[in-house]
Amino acid sequence: MSNPITNKTFDFFVNNSLNRAETDSKESKGCDNLDAYREVFLPNLGISLKVNADIPEQLGFEKANLVSVHRLIESDDLAMTTKALHSIIGAKSDVVMSARPPFIREAEPVETTGSNHTQVTDNAIPLSSVPSEAYTVIDATWHDASKVHIRTEGNLFGESGLLEVDLDTISIPLVKSSDDIYGDVASAFGVQMFKDGDVIPVKWDGELYTSQYCLGRGGQYEQYRMEKGNGFFIETHPFPHIYTSPSKQDEIIVTIGKDLGNGQFALVNFEVPYGTCILVPGNTIHADVFTRGDIIATIGESEADVVLIHDKSDHLVRLNQRPLGLNTERWLDLV
């Protein structure tokens, strides 16, 4: 762990808890003004969520059960829950992003692009074309769940594997939308940013479900990962994610990884401001652990390769986030 500029570190958990407290009572959350949505109760989780009334009632209930989670930390405070099902995107369809509900809708035939989500990755520029300071490279061994079975709670996809590193902390740079290299770094990692009204090339083989989750504003989700989830994880799966924010009060940060071969992986964090979204094509390494507040994500049905990040002694590895080009680091240090 290095912090060469300053000796002061900032606890990501504590600072966010303090900074967000003042805005929680003032904000208009993305689920508060859904007049065209109905409330659905899920007995298996004991929660209610909003479902777009355009989705048939029985279908909405089935898909809401499919995408929903409800996680608590040891103090019984909320760590993560599902708040809404906004849309169902048909197979082989593109989508249109909006800053208003349902946020992601299926594109009309006349809006369809000539591309798909995998071509975004195929058209990635070389990683060598962006500054090395924009990402971190780690040495690691990826053991998928077919080889190593790790105890975990909260993996929607079943068994978890292991990302084994010789580190106790991984420090990941944050690339912000205001940075000149934002688009280039995104392209180098095989992802793409879009804005309100853009048509997004997807054409996934199956349906996608646009779901809204709350990850907590004071570090509760990270606390859950350490208390009950057996550490932080990254994952990859065939279906694409589209991540966006339902309000200006939410802080969407998505971690993207790239397998460099020979046991090396590059990692970067991207800020996703309100009114924009990030397309994470299928089979892209990713996570959303640094997100604060509500996040909207497309979810598909497929197998996934989820790996928990541990060191060689099977201890949980800490993650922290450092702003790009600033003199301080924002630490996420929950161990």
Output the CA–CA distances (angstroms, integers) from residue 96 to 107, 113, 244, in the order listed.
6, 11, 12
pLDDT at residue 184 above 80? yes
pLDDT score recorded for residue 188: 98
Instruction: Give me the number of domains the chain comprises.
Output: 1
pLDDT digits (tens, 9 = 90+) for 131-147: 999 999 999 999 998 78
pLDDT at residue 8 above 80? no
Whether 280 is in a domain gets the answer yes
Q: Out of 30-44, 204-218, 293-307, 317-331, which region has the weakest mean confidence (pLDDT)?
A: 317-331
Whether 2 is in a domain gets the answer no
Whether 197 is in a domain gets the answer yes
Band the pLDDT of 30: cuts 50, 70, 90: low
Whether 268 is in a domain gets the answer yes
pLDDT at residue 50 above 90? yes
Strand 161-165 and strand 169-175: the pairing is unpaired
118's tokens: 């995998």
Whether 14 is in a domain gets the answer yes
The answer for 231, left when phi > 0, alpha when psi is -120 to 50, beta otherwise, is: left
Residue numbers of the domain that contains 103: 10-331
Residue matched to tokens 């010789």: 166
Give just the sign of the alpha carbon dihedral 171, 174, 175, 178: negative
pLDDT score recorded for residue 5: 25
Residue 64: φ, ψ to 5°: -65, -40
Chain centre distance of CA 214: 11
Whether 1 is in a domain gets the answer no
pLDDT at residue 155 above 70? no
pLDDT score recorded for residue 231: 86
Listed residue (153, 161, 168, 167) closest to 224, CA to CA: 153
Cα–Cα distance between 64 and 74 in angstroms, integer? 26
pLDDT digits (tens, 9 = 90+) for 86-136: 999 999 999 999 999 999 999 999 999 999 999 999 999 999 999 999 999
Q: Are 91 and 107 in contact (CB under 8 A)?
A: no
pLDDT score recorded for residue 139: 98
Cα–Cα distance between 120 and 239 in angstroms, integer? 13
Give just the sign of the alpha carbon dihedral 254, 259, 260, 264: positive
pLDDT digits (tens, 9 = 90+) for 279-293: 999 999 999 999 999
pLDDT at residue 226 above 90? no
pLDDT score recorded for residue 26: 37
Instruction: Tell me if the bond preceding 126 is cis, omega within 30° of 0.
Output: no
**Position 137: which residue type?**
V
Whether 62 is in a domain gets the answer yes
Provide the mean pLDDT of the chain. Answer: 86
pLDDT at residue 75 above 90? no
Whether 4 is in a domain gets the answer no
